[in-house]
């Protein structure tokens, strides 16, 4: 009797090889790192957007910065929430001239009033925006 086909051992061997290769590919891609890098890229864009809006406001108001920006670092408040204990930048949203919405860190949940981004003004007037929730030990901070 000459039967054609694969033996159970051959099929198991092929499945095991495919599983090993799939595991290697998943480790090489590292989806957690890819997601963290994507979130950090968004954080960089957000802090630059906020800083540009603050400086555009300052330019339009003859060099006067927002009075809400403290000398001690504080977290920026979300749009349309109670900003008690947070830095209120709602002036930038007036008529959507500088911002349409205040950017929120990707890891901040929907509850709460904070955006996850901090702002501070140095004694000489330099504005710094930071993203303290950055992932992969990255420090995200921009100043002008």
Per-domain residue ranges for the chain?
31-143
**pLDDT at site 93:** 93
**One pLDDT digit (tens) per residue for the chain, 144 residues:** 677 888 899 999 999 999 999 988 888 888 889 999 999 999 999 999 999 999 999 999 998 888 888 888 899 999 989 999 999 999 999 989 999 999 999 999 878 899 999 999 998 889 999 999 999 999 999 998
The structure tokens listed for 63 are: 């060099």
Q: In what order do the strands lie in the sheet with 141-143?
A: 74-77, 114-121, 127-130, 141-143
**pLDDT at site 132:** 96
Residue showing tokens 């100043």: 143
Rounded Cα–Cα distance for residues 144 and 127 (Å): 6
Could you give the 3-state DSSP secondary structure of residue 47? helix
**pLDDT at site 102:** 94
**pLDDT at site 88:** 94
**pLDDT at site 1:** 65
**pLDDT at site 4:** 80
**pLDDT at site 63:** 85
**pLDDT at site 27:** 82
**pLDDT at site 45:** 97
């Amino acid at each position: 009797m000459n039967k054609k086909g694969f033996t159970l051992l051959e099929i198991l061997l092929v499945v095991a090889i495919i599983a090993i290769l799939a595991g290697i590919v998943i480790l090489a891609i590292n989806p957690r790192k890819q997601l963290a890098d994507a979130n950090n890229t968004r954080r960089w864009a957000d802090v630059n957007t906020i800083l540009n809006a603050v400086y555009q406001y300052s330019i339009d108001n003859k060099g006067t910065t927002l009075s809400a920006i403290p000398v001690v670092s504080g977290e920026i408040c979300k749009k349309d929430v109670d900003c008690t204990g947070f830095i209120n930048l709602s002036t930038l949203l007036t008529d959507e001239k500088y911002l349409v919405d205040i950017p929120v860190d990707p890891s901040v949940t929907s509850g709460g009033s904070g955006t996850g981004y901090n702002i501070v003004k140095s004694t000489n007037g330099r504005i710094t925006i930071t993203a303290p929730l950055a992932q992969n030990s990255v420090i995200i901070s921009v100043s002008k």
